Amino acid sequence: MPPEQIITEALARYERLLVSYAKEITGDLDSARDAVQETFLRLSRQDVVALEHRLRPWLFLVCRNCAIDHRRKVVRFSTEPIEDLDFASNEPGPDHRAVAAEDANRLRDLVAGLPRQQRELIKLKFEAGLSYKEMAEALKTSVSTVGVQLHDAIKTLRRQWIDENPEILPT
């Protein structure tokens, strides 16, 4: 596949996922969009064919770095501490197939209450569909660290969610 086509397809496939992921880090949509544009510009200056087999983790890794750069700029010009930025998405998701709307919103709130690093992992796993290995590559960490941190995040969610909805416990 020609390099330009690889990039165009990657843009079509990952643009929204990357914007969503970057927004998790920057806290605002405009910065997230800037980070994603920067990511694809960097991609266009790479040997795309050589990168193709590990394109997905590469995109998330570079997008993460760009988003972190944007977040630093925001913090530099803002008095607001970085941890106080509102990372939670207030927009309702369009799909509530099996989870009732209330439950879905509550679960979103619970996810929003997790530490930023764990929210990132949840996004990468359940939204972008990355494997542990790809997540480890994107976050520049080990597969076992990803496993432990994601387990901690899910355990926290499970405890909180089951506390509120004991009926979901297996009988």
Partner 1 sequence: MNETQATAYALNELHGKERDSFESDLAGDIKLQGELQSTSRVADALEQIMVEPHEGLEPQARERLIREIAKNQEAWQQRRKIVRFAVPVSLAAAASIAALLWVAGGKTTQAPAMAAAAASERVFVRAESTAMASGEGTKGEQPTNTLVPQKRVMPWNAKVLGADADPGR
Given the rule CB under 8 A, which residues bind partner 1? 3-4, 7-8, 11, 15-17, 19-20, 23, 29, 33, 36-37, 40-41, 43-48, 93-99, 103-104, 107-108, 111, 122-123, 125-127, 131-132, 147-148, 150-151, 154-155, 157-158, 161-162, 168-170
Complex with partner 1: residue 63 or 76, whichever CB lies closer: 63
Q: Cα–Cα distance between 65 and 100 in angstroms, integer?
A: 35
Structure tokens at 35: 């980070």
Cα distances from 76 to residues 21, 44, 116, in angstroms, run: 21, 29, 19
* Least Cβ distance, residue 43 to partner 1 (angstroms): 8
* Least Cβ distance, residue 63 to partner 1 (angstroms): 12
Q: Cα–Cα distance between 39 and 46 in angstroms, integer?
A: 11
* Least Cβ distance, residue 79 to partner 1 (angstroms): 27
CB atoms closer than 10 angstroms to residue 28: 16
Complex with partner 1: residue 65 or 89, whichever CB lies closer: 89
* Least Cβ distance, residue 117 to partner 1 (angstroms): 16
* Least Cβ distance, residue 140 to partner 1 (angstroms): 19
Complex with partner 1: residue 76 or 97, whichever CB lies closer: 97
Closest CA to 66 of 39, 44, 48: 39
Q: Are the CB atoms for 100 and 21 separated by under 8 Å?
A: no
Sorted by sequence, the CB contacts under 8 Å of residue 157 that are 6+ apart come out as 107, 110, 111, 114
Complex with partner 1: residue 70 or 123, whichever CB lies closer: 123
Complex with partner 1: residue 75 or 132, whichever CB lies closer: 132
